[in-house]
Amino acid sequence: MSRITDLQKNLFGGSTSNARQFGMISTLVAIVLLFQIWTDGLTLTSGNLIAVVSQYSYILILAIGMLMVIVAGHIDLSVGSVAAFTGIVVAKAMQEYDLPWPLGIVLGLLVGAAIGAWQGFWVAYIGVPAFIVTLAGMLLFRGGNQYIGNADTVPVPEGFREIGAGFLPEVGPDTGYNNLTLLLGVAACAGVVWREWRARQTRREMGADTAPLWVAGIRLAVMIGVIVFATLRFAGGRVGTSLPISGIILIVLVLAYSFYTRNTVGGRHIYAVGGNARAAELSGVKLKRVNFLVMMNMSVLAALAGMIFVARSSASGPQDGLSWELDAIAAVFIGGAAVSGGLGTVSGSIVGGLVMALLNNGLQLEGVGSDMVQIIKGLVLLLAVAFDVYNKSQGRFSIIGTLTRPFRRDDPGAPAAPAAPASDPDADKAKVAG
């Protein structure tokens, strides 16, 4: 066991961040290979990979926001209804009032922010549990969607459709691939190399041990190999297709929210609140503001996801957003978030979302009926979490624990929740009052 641990430390460079990144790539590769064999090679075709990103990017966007809500110790059941409500409002505004589509996107984000502020107010400042507030919101905004749209579909203009159904354009010489997608792949490879180099430099400056160069080379080779393979698949689709615009939006959000949760005070406050709300408040964290902002952020991302879906469908309809909240919540929990809050990562939630997406896609490629797909997804969610919880209780290897290790409160590299002061009731009251 100790030899395996030493090998893992060397391979991961002694960094939990690198370990998580490598573990996630390995997990995704294993899942993809499973369905690649089962579907006789259809899973890894360019057309199928492009379709997966295009069809499920909005669920992954929801998972990012849902992660922050769950980490803070809440749940949001309204995201599907908020997405549907925003979609019909934007579609109606562009159809009936000739609102230019760029302004339509701005309007949608503002609608999401207003809904989030409404729900965040009840949760943070009135103290109504988020489960109840968002359950009410699910009913309220689903009814609003049907009332405004009169249970009809409302088409959206061509320009607006690009955010959901568009691809990176063809530019430059004819290479047989989409050149912009190739450039993104090159940039991603350069970013991985730069991050590895910076990590080694930082460890040297701190006097910490660094992994041997050959180990770093293996790690980089694996990650770059995956990036190159994915780049060629997305760039080599049929003419007119490439990496979807919705995929670009998702990548930007993943990078931004990963940086925010790992490297900013605001991100650490969310984990502190989820880990121990009372201790966080006594340590100076503005509890109400954190709760307000995570609920507001969730609704903004739900609005964005709703607009992407409407753009891909070319119209807004009364059935938009049904059960989206369940897929987003499942993605977050499969990705390693704790039910009690304070634990989870953006990258883990994306892995969970991709597991659900690939599961859907693979079963559909095999012609499995929608009823069985739902049954299998439910069993996978239950068994995956139950198996991981059992392993953790037995002190064994935990897949989810590995994915979320950097944010465990007992991990030295984690954003630690503030420690509670001595249990003196009078002193506690005085600190809260101050």
DSSP string, 25-80: HHHHHHHHHHHHHHTTT-TTSHHHHHHHHHHHHHHHHHHHHHHHHHHTT---S-HH
Q: Report how far apart, in Å, the C-alpha atoms of 393 and of each of 5, 200, 386, 387 are.
A: 20, 35, 11, 10
What is the model's pLDDT at position 1? 44
Specify which residues 316 forms β-bridges with.
154
pLDDT (0 to 100) of residue 431:
39
Nearest to 63 by CA among 275, 298, 339, 268: 298
Tokens at 167, concatenated = 């691809």
Who's near 126: CB < 8 A, 6+ residues apart? none
> pTM for this one?
0.83
Contact criterion met (CB below 8 Å) for 46 and 177 = no
The helix (run of H) or strand (run of E) holding residue 205 is helix 179-205
Q: Enter the tokens of residue 28.
A: 């995704």
Place of tokens 């600190």: 431
Rounded-to-integer distance, Cα 58 and Cα 79, Å? 11
What would the two tokens of residue 40 be?
A: 């006789």
**Cβ atoms of residues 138 and 81 within 8 Å:** yes
Return the structure tokens found at 24.
């996630």
- Is residue 83 within 8 A of residue 328, CB to CB? The reply is no
Question: Which helix (DSSP H) or strand (DSSP E) does residue 255 occupy?
Answer: helix 245-263
- Looking at residue 392, its pLDDT comes to 58
Q: What is the pLDDT of residue 269?
A: 93
CB atoms within 10 A of CB 348: 30
Q: Residue 296: its pLDDT value, please?
A: 97
Query: String of b and e for 305-335 (b: at least 16 CB within 10 Å)?
Result: bbbbbbbbbebbbbebbeebbbbbbbbbbbb
Q: What is the pLDDT along the chain (434 residues), one digit of tens a residue?
A: 444 445 445 554 444 434 444 545 566 667 778 888 888 888 989 999 999 999 999 999 999 999 999 999 999 999 999 999 999 999 999 999 999 999 999 999 999 999 999 999 999 999 999 999 999 999 999 999 999 988 888 999 999 999 999 999 988 888 889 999 999 999 999 999 998 888 888 888 887 777 777 878 887 888 898 899 999 999 988 887 889 999 999 999 999 999 999 889 999 999 999 888 889 888 888 999 999 999 999 999 999 999 999 999 999 988 899 889 988 998 888 887 777 778 888 988 888 888 888 888 888 888 888 888 888 878 877 876 676 566 556 554 444 444 344 333 344 334 444 444 444 444 443 433 44
